[in-house]
Structure 1
Amino acid sequence: MLSQRTRYTIRALLHLADRFGQGPVQLTEIAEAQNIPAKFLTVMLSQMRRDGLIETMRGREGGYWLARPPEKISYGEIVRLTRGSLGLLPCASRLAYEPCSNCVSEDKCRLHRVMLMVRDETARILDGLSLADPVSLDEFSSEAELEPQL
């Protein structure tokens, strides 16, 4: 499950993507439009600046903007920066791998193998989508269309 921090970060970055090339965007505009607490948004945007996703300028004419074009920022990158991993289990993470302490050995664990497949498919999808990709709200008109195809 995505944390609230990750969801807020994605929404804020999408807001900046919609205004890419139009100059700095004020924090209050992002906070109000995306319904994100301003204090929380300040912390998130500061982290995204340190991670190289956004630039900022102080002052009355200042604000925030994407450091790279929206098509160069993937959802996978954002999730990894805010969550640390795409893996649902520590043993299925590429970047934050840890063996599970209460499990059978990985070579005998069928859940481990399933979670590796889930991680790889999740990475394929999220790394293939950027902030520039149009995702229509009516693309998924019902949850029935989201049934897994295994």
Structure 2
Amino acid sequence: MLTKKGKYGLKAAVHLARLPPGASTQVAEIAETNQIPKKFLDVILGELRNAGFLASKKGKMGGYRLAKPAEEIIVGEMIRALDGPLAPFPCASRNSYEPCEDCDVDNCEVRILMVRIRDAMGTVLDAYTLAQMRDLSQEQLASFVDYI
């Protein structure tokens, strides 16, 4: 499962992707519009800035903006920057692999399933750009809610 940090980071990034290119906005506006706790959002936006997804400017006319076009920002990369590896367990991670203490790694059915879950999540998250998320139509969103 993804964390609230990842979810809030995506919501904030989509908010910024809706602004005109190069435009910025303040944390308070993003937090209020998206119902995200401001202090938590400050931390999240700082991490996204440090990872190169956002740029910021201090001062009265400052705020956050996308550091590159929304079409160039891969959703999976943002999630990994905020939440770390996509694998549900360390034994299923590509980059942060750690064997479990309680199983035979080469014959663990749970690990096999977790690797498949990791791969499925990565396939979906890496297939979308921030621009594609931003451009989801109200009709698509409405039909998705009916799907759940």
- Identify whether the pair has TM-score above 0.5, normalized to the shorter chain: yes
What is the SS of the residue equivalent to 1:137? helix
1:139–1:77 Cα change, 3 Å: farther
Contact 1:20–1:69 under 8 Å retained in 2: no
Q: Which residue of 1 aligns with 2:115?
A: 116
Q: CA deviation at 1:142?
A: 2.2
The whole-number CA distance in structure 2 between the counterparts of 1:115 and 1:2 is: 14
Match of 1:138 in 2: 142
Higher share of residues assigned helix:
2
Q: Partner amino acid for 2:67?
A: A
Contact kept in structure 2, 1:20 and 1:65, CA below 8 Å: no
Normalized against structure 1, the TM-score is what?
A: 0.88
Distance in 2, Cα, partners of 1:62 & 1:73:
22
Q: Within 2, Cα distance between the matches of 1:120 and 1:92? A: 10
Does 2:85 align with 1:85? yes
Q: Which amino acid aligns with 2:16?
A: L
Quick one: which amino acid aligns to residue 26 of structure 1?
Q
Residue 106 (1) aligns with residue 101 (2): no
- Note the 1:52-91 alignment, pairs <5 A: 52-91=52-91
Distance 1:63 1:36 in 2: 16
Count matched residues.
142
Structure 1 stretches of 4+ moved >4 Å: none
Q: Secondary structure at the match of 2:65?
A: strand
CA distance in 2, matches of 1:12, 1:82: 13
User: Would you say 1:35 and 2:27 are equivalent positions?
Assistant: no
Instruction: State the Cα distance separating 1:20 from its structure 2 match.
Output: 4.4
Structure 1 gap ranges (5+): 144-150
**3-state SS of paired residue (1:65):** strand
